[in-house]
């Protein structure tokens, strides 16, 4: 059955070959070494090590931390606001606050949960802000140039429909679903469990329920269109 | 086991959380063998998972851009607030919808990058002025890159990604180095090896020698590039990169070549004569004097040096995605045959570019094959899989196993070929057999490989 213990995935020698390799590859490549032999770097640098480098003045470490956590920060912001465009601004702000406030982080290894906490608080600020009641980007039909370019693509439309349905799920379920699919490669239940402060079994249950609700919603939509 | 428990386990299996040897997995298989409803649910959940991966592909790319913007913001004013940017975007959209021209113009002024920086500068306390003076940040670099502060003659210091570049700083690259500088408004300046340039102002770069590429976002102010290969000879050339344009400029003493990579631009030679270029045009400048247009340029080959930088950005970066798509399209044109072959068939010049950089292209190619957009061009997708068959490193084994159940038989063929090359195994299904398998058999083959791979990786603990 599912392990309830967080996996020491970055430490295990074979882990170099797992699907999160691509995720690490980007980090390693940004070191500036053109001829880096990734096989010599089979172990992923931890968040704590990156935070320490950043605090010591290594500017590259900031970029690596931001790239490592951007997808999950953006996922939380999207889930909490239900507005993907507002989420981009909030996620950028949260990452910026996190990077600028590294000196106040007590446990460098907890950078991820810490920056997610900042994102949650930034979302709360946004919710309280009167500006959130301004007309949303989404309110203007056809305003999204990127999406419009592919307006003829049926697949794109299906993806858009599915994303909208995910946005309609209850927050706890859309949050776990977005966290999972924003960074599908390399994302494990134990990662999400640590971020959300729940067990891996709860993540499994929430993902299962979210998918079930999503199927029902899609089915209802399909039935209503017939 | 009831159906509810089975559904939870199916979900875990789809997410790769349930290994083949797990007792719960064995129990699940037993339940599935007897329960047609759960088999149907498993099928539906697999399809839903693939649809969700496709649906969130755009968001994953957006996340990379958000990270880049957050890091770039660090070197600029601390007053870049979320509210300001959020309302700015809404104002821009408001402009599109509004008929009140006067108020709309004011809104545009509010979000114009130059205006924003001026506003920030005016409200920033004097103590933080040094941060405001930085005009760019090193976003990516490979090889040895150095900067020399303004006013100094020979105090070159090595720099790495994240370093701030101040007004008047000189930047120099060694022979195999590349560097990308990002300005606060998102403008990019990339330098090839053996290049020296000076950031002489917010919107001005002086190129002394080497090769430069620059891009200016749609709503930013134009960027001026001065080529000054020999200050004494006064053969200065000015290139204006307007919003939305991209240029490639190779500057050598006596002769320079300017290529319009995207959009239209204007070049002014040393005698003040102007020439206008559009996408794909290139012009030679001899001793600072514009010659006749040299016609169209192969932009992909001219800018091949950018690949070293792009490969640092990961396979999901939008520019890398576009680059891979363009490369695959060109490779298809070079070698239109898409029949699966185990060997390499006389690669053309563009394919040679990819092959010369070997496994570094593996990640972008794998991302391309997995992307929903790639389904629009099956031929390019097969080409990507063919290159993966030759270039993929052992770390790509998990991804290759994922492709064994691809709907395209040729993709399955190349995935199986790559796995055979990397592991020496076929697990009873040759690449040729994989290419003709039914979806059910392909899924079975994939499960067999996954189980084998789980055993191999478990042995490392």
Assess whether pLDDT exceeds 70 at residue A186: no
Residue from the list B49, B372, B399 with its beta carbon closest to the beta carbon of A159: B372
Does residue B312 sit at the A interface (CB-CB below 8 Å)?
A: yes
Residue from the list A17, A160, A214 with its beta carbon closest to the beta carbon of B394: A17
Q: What was the pLDDT predicted at B233?
A: 54
Q: What was the pLDDT predicted at A2?
A: 44
Q: Is B429 helix (H, G, I), strand (E, B) or coil?
A: coil
What distance in Å separates the CA atoms of residue B285 and residue B297, rounded to the nearest whole number?
15
Q: What was the pLDDT predicted at B3?
A: 86
- Which residues of chain A are within 8 Å of residue B64 when distances are taken between CB atoms? 67, 70
* Helices B362-370 & B378-391 angle (0-180, nearest 10): 150
B82 and A2: CB-CB below 8 Å? no
Please state, as a whole number, how many other Cβ atoms lie within 10 Å of the Cβ of residue B298: 14
Token pair recorded at residue B310: 């792009």
What distance in Å separates the CA atoms of residue B351 and residue B364, rounded to the nearest whole number?
14
Does residue A90 sit at the B interface (CB-CB below 8 Å)?
A: yes
What distance in Å separates the CA atoms of residue A26 and residue B69, rounded to the nearest whole number?
17
- For testing contact with chain B, the best of A7, A18, A37, A60 (most B CBs within 10 A): A60
Q: Are strands B281-286 and B289-296 parallel, antiparallel or unpaired?
A: antiparallel
Does residue B94 sit at the A interface (CB-CB below 8 Å)?
A: yes
Assess whether pLDDT exceeds 60 at residue A145: no
Query: Which of residues A11 and B90 earns the better pLDDT score?
Result: B90
Token pair recorded at residue B392: 């993929």
Mean pLDDT per 10-residue interval, chain B, length 461 residues: 86 82 82 87 85 79 81 59 43 35 31 32 32 73 88 82 85 91 88 90 84 88 79 67 88 82 82 79 79 72 89 82 91 69 66 86 89 86 92 88 90 93 89 90 90 76 39
Per DSSP, chain A holds a count of helices (H) and strands (E) of 10, 0
What distance in Å separates the CA atoms of residue B195 and residue B197, rounded to the nearest whole number?
7
What distance in Å separates the CA atoms of residue B364 and residue B140, rounded to the nearest whole number?
17
Mean per-residue pLDDT for A76-91?
88
Report pLDDT digits (tens) over B340-355.
554 555 778 888 888 8
Assess whether pLDDT exceeds 70 at residue A194: yes
Does residue A84 sit at the B interface (CB-CB below 8 Å)?
A: yes
* Residue ranges of B 43-82 with Cβ closer than 8 A to chain A: 44-45, 48-49, 51-60, 62-64, 66-71, 73-74, 78, 80-82
Report pLDDT digits (tens) over A173-183.
999 999 998 88
A211 and B48: CB-CB below 8 Å? yes
Query: Which of residues B60 and A7 earns the better pLDDT score?
Result: B60
Does residue A212 sit at the B interface (CB-CB below 8 Å)?
A: yes
Beta strand extents in A102-186 (DSSP E only): none
Q: Is B198 helix (H, G, I), strand (E, B) or coil?
A: strand
A96 and B74: CB-CB below 8 Å? yes
Q: From the CA of A15, how many Å to the nearest CA of chain B?
A: 8
Q: What was the pLDDT predicted at B211?
A: 93
What distance in Å separates the CA atoms of residue A73 and residue B62, rounded to the nearest whole number?
12
Mean per-residue pLDDT for A11-26?
32
* Residue ranges of B 347-366 with Cβ closer than 8 A to chain A: 363, 366
Q: What is the mean pLDDT of chain A?
A: 71
Residue B38: in which H helix or E strand, if any? Answer: helix B36-55
Q: What was the pLDDT predicted at A53?
A: 85
Q: What was the pLDDT predicted at A24?
A: 32
A60 and B160: CB-CB below 8 Å? yes
A26 and B314: CB-CB below 8 Å? yes
In DSSP notation, B143-191 reads: S-EEEE-TT-SS--EE--TT-EEETT-EEEE-TT-EEEEEETTS-EEEE
What distance in Å separates the CA atoms of residue A137 and residue A148, rounded to the nearest whole number?
14
Q: For residue A137, give the chain B residue with the closest CA.
A: B90
Count of CB pairs separated by less than 8 Å, A with B = 236
Q: From the CA of A189, how many Å to the nearest CA of chain B?
A: 8
- Which residues of chain A are within 8 Å of residue B461 when distances are taken between CB atoms? 12-14
Residue from the list A31, A70, A135 with its beta carbon closest to the beta carbon of B64: A70
The backbone torsions φ and ψ at residue B99, rounded to the nearest 5 degrees and listed phi first, read -110, 5
- Which residues of chain A are within 8 Å of residue B62 when distances are taken between CB atoms? 74, 84, 88
User: Interface pTM (ipTM) of the complex?
Assistant: 0.73
> Residue length, chain A?
226
Q: What was the pLDDT predicted at B341?
A: 52
Q: From the CA of B305, how many Å to the nearest CA of chain A?
A: 13
**Cα–Cα distances in Å, from A104 out to A55, A111, A112, B381?**
11, 11, 14, 47
Q: What was the pLDDT predicted at A17?
A: 32
Q: What was the pLDDT predicted at B235?
A: 60
Q: From the CA of B382, how many Å to the nearest CA of chain A?
A: 20
Report pLDDT digits (tens) over B80-118.
444 444 443 443 333 333 323 333 332 323 333 333 333
- Which residues of chain A are within 8 Å of residue B89 when distances are taken between CB atoms? 85, 89, 137
pTM: 0.51
- CA neighbours within 13 Å on the CB side: how many for B359? 16
């Amino acid at each position: 059955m599912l392990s309830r213990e967080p996996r020491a995935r970055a430490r295990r020698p074979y882990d170099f070959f797992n699907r999160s390799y691509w995720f690490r590859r980007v980090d390693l490549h940004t070191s500036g070494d053109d001829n880096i032999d990734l096989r010599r770097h089979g172990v992923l640098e931890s968040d704590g090590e990156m935070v320490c480098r950043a605090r010591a003045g290594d500017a590259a470490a900031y970029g690596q931390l931001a790239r490592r956590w951007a997808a999950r920060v953006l996922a939380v912001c999207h889930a909490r606001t239900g507005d993907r465009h507002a989420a981009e601004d909030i996620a950028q702000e949260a990452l910026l606050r996190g990077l600028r406030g590294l000196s106040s982080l007590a446990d460098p290894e907890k950078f991820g949960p810490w920056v997610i906490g900042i994102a949650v608080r930034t979302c709360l600020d946004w919710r309280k802000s009167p500006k959130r009641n301004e007309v949303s980007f989404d309110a203007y039909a056809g305003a999204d140039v990127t999406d419009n370019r592919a307006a003829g693509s049926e697949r794109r439309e299906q993806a858009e429909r599915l994303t909208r349905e995910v946005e309609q799920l209850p927050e706890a379920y859309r949050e776990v679903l977005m966290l999972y699919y924003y960074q599908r490669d390399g994302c494990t239940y134990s990662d999400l469990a640590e971020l959300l402060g729940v067990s891996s079994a709860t993540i499994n249950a929430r993902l299962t329920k979210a998918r079930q609700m999503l199927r029902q919603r899609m089915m209802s939509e399909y039935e209503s269109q017939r | 086991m009831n159906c509810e428990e089975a559904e939870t386990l199916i979900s875990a299996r789809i997410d790769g959380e349930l290994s083949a040897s797990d007792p719960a997995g064995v129990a699940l298989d037993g339940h599935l063998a007897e329960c047609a409803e759960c088999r149907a649910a498993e099928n539906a959940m697999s399809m839903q998972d693939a649809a969700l991966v496709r649906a969130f592909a755009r968001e994953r790319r957006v996340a990379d851009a958000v990270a880049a913007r957050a890091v770039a913001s660090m070197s600029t004013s601390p007053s870049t607030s979320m509210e300001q940017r959020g309302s700015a975007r809404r104002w821009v959209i408001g402009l599109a919808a509004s008929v009140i021209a006067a108020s709309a113009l004011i809104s545009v002024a509010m979000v114009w990058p130059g205006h924003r920086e001026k506003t920030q500068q005016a409200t920033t306390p004097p103590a933080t002025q040094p941060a405001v003076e930085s005009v760019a940040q090193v976003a990516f670099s490979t090889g040895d890159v150095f900067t020399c502060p303004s006013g100094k003659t020979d105090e070159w210091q090595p720099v790495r990604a994240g370093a701030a570049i101040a007004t008047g700083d000189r930047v120099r690259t060694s022979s195999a180095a590349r560097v990308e500088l990002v300005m606060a408004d998102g403008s990019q300046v990339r330098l090839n090896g053996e290049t020296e340039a000076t950031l002489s102002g917010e919107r001005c770069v002086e190129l002394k020698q080497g090769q430069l590429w620059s891009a200016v976002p749609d709503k930013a102010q134009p960027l001026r590039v001065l080529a000054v290969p020999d200050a004494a000879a006064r053969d200065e050339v000015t290139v204006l990169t307007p919003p939305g344009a991209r240029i490639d400029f190779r500057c050598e003493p006596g002769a320079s070549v300017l290529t319009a990579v995207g959009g239209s631009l204007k070049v002014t030679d040393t005698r003040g004569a102007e020439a206008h270029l559009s996408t794909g045009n290139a012009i030679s400048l001899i001793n600072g004097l514009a010659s006749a247009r040299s016609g169209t340029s192969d932009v992909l080959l001219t800018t091949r040096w950018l690949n070293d930088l792009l490969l640092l950005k990961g396979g999901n970066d939008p520019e890398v995605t576009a680059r891979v798509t363009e490369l695959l399209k060109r490779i298809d044109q070079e070698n239109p045959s898409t029949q699966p072959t185990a060997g390499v068939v006389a690669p053309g010049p563009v394919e040679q570019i990819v092959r010369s950089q070997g496994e570094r292209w593996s990640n972008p190619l794998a991302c391309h094959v997995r992307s929903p957009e790639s389904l629009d061009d099956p031929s390019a997708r097969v080409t990507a899989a063919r290159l993966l068959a030759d270039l993929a490193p052992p770390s790509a084994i998990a991804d290759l196993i994922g492709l064994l159940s691809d709907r395209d038989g040729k993709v399955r063929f190349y995935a199986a070929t790559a796995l055979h090359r990397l592991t020496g195994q076929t697990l009873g299904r040759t690449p040729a057999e994989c290419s003709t398998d039914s979806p059910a058999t392909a899924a079975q083959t994939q499960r067999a490989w996954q189980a084998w791979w789980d055993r191999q990786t478990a042995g490392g603990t």
